């Protein structure tokens, strides 16, 4: 491959979204990649994937692979595998739910542990979601800022519902990973990029997301990498039942017969 061909290829970054159930991770990924929002909560089982291509200052095309990890996976055996190798991590909590903020300590420890043997450490951002519900805020801004300062995290506040600062949130993390500085004008422009929200579209579910990824992927020539991560996910999720059945079979058949 010639130098110019190599340069024209997109950079690919793996970003993971972690945090408690119902903090709004899927809503953020959906807002970012499809400019849609659904009011109804549909728990993510295991994980889901989204793809979005953005252009950073300097005309640099970047494809973001967003791994949306279900809140119920904390403590599960697959979690560190999902997080391993991520270049960016978004620690998401709900500003109206103090417990979701307190639990970030556990999520953060897990992220550090998953990457402790990796040479490159991910860029991590603390993301307070649901700022459209400012009047119901229970997590003080001070607390949020302190956590960022103590741990060297990028501080962000967003609303998946209105789209406020959602594009900027992902863009800032991608830019930081690639060592690109966003100027004030670029930040201001990105802040309102996905606003005003189009709330008429509802949560689309995996089928619609696949459809979207399909059309985007064809356009961008990204289908192979998408298929690859879908295969990986299907393999991981399809892993547990056969093992469990095998164990059951083994424990039943393996019992010594007292008559022998």
Ligand X SMILES: Nc1nc2c(ncn2[C@@H]2O[C@H](COP(=O)(O)OP(=O)(O)OP(=O)(O)O)[C@@H](O)[C@H]2O)c(=O)[nH]1
Contacts with Mg ion by CB under 5 A lie at: 26, 44
Distance of CA 18 to the CA centre of its chain: 6
Residue 76 binds which entry of ligand X, Mg ion, none, with Cβ cut-offs from 5 to 8 Å by kind?
A: none
Name which of 25 and 52 has its Cβ closer to ligand X. Answer: 25
Residue 23 binds which entry of Mg ion, ligand X, none, with Cβ cut-offs from 5 to 8 Å by kind?
A: ligand X
Rounded to whole angstroms, the Cα distance separating 138 from 60 reads 39
CA nearest neighbour of 109 among 91, 127, 123: 91
Which window, 36-44, 58-66, 210-218, 220-228, contacts ligand X (CB under 6 A)?
Answer: 36-44
CB of 166 to Mg ion, least distance (A): 15
Rounded to whole angstroms, the Cα distance separating 250 from 217 reads 44
Identify the residue among 13, 32, 34, 44 touching ligand X (CB under 6 A): 44
Q: Is 70 near ligand X (CB under 6 A)?
A: yes
Which window, 51-59, 125-133, 145-153, 186-194, contacts ligand X (CB under 6 A)?
Answer: 125-133
Which window, 15-23, 104-112, 170-178, 187-195, contacts ligand X (CB under 6 A)?
Answer: 15-23
Which neighbouring-strand residues pair with 47?
A: 69
Q: Is 83 near ligand X (CB under 6 A)?
A: no
Q: Determine the length of the chain.
A: 260
Identify the residue among 52, 130, 172, 209 touching ligand X (CB under 6 A): 130
Q: Is 43 near ligand X (CB under 6 A)?
A: yes
Burial class (CB in 10 A: 0-12, 13-18, 19+), 12: middle
The residues, any chain, with a CB within 8 Å of residue 159's CB and separated by 6 or more, are 129, 130, 131, 132, 165, 166
Q: Is 27 near ligand X (CB under 6 A)?
A: yes
Could you say which DSSP state residue 255 is in? S
What is the x/- site pattern for ligand X, positions 151-190, by CB under 6 A? --------xxx-----------------------------
- Buried b / exposed e across 115-148, counting CB within 10 Å, b at 16+? beeeeeebbbbbbbbbbbeeeebebeeeebeebb
| Interacting residue ranges for ligand X, rule: CB under 6 A | 21-27, 38-44, 70-71, 129-130, 132-133, 159-161
């Amino acid at each position: 491959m010639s130098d110019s061909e190599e340069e024209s290829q997109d950079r690919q970054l793996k970003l993971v979204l972690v945090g408690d159930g119902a903090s709004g991770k899927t809503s953020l990924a959906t807002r970012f990649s499809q400019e849609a929002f659904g009011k109804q909560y549909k728990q993510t089982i295991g994980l889901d994937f989204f793809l979005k291509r953005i252009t950073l200052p300097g005309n640099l095309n970047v494809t973001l692979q967003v791994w949306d990890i279900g809140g119920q996976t904390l403590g599960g055996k697959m979690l560190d595998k999902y997080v391993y190798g991520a270049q960016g991590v978004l620690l998401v909590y709900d500003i109206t739910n103090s417990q979701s903020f307190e639990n970030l300590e556990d999520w953060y420890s897990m992220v550090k542990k998953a990457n402790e043997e990796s040479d490159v450490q991910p860029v991590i951002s603390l993301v307070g979601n649901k700022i459209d519900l400012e009047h119901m805020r229970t997590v003080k801004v001070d607390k949020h800022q302190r956590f960022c300062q103590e741990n060297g995290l990028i501080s962000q506040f967003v609303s998946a519902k209105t789209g406020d600062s959602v594009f900027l949130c992902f863009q800032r993390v991608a830019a930081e990973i690639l060592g690109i500085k966003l100027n004030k004008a670029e930040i201001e422009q990105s802040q309102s990029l996905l606003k005003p929200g189009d709330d008429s579209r509802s949560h689309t579910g995996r089928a619609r997301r696949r459809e979207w990824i399909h059309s985007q992927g064809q356009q961008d020539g990204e289908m192979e990498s998408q298929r690859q991560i879908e295969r990986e996910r299907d393999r991981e999720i399809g892993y547990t039942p056969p093992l469990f059945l095998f164990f059951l079979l083994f424990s039943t058949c393996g019992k010594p017969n007292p008559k022998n």
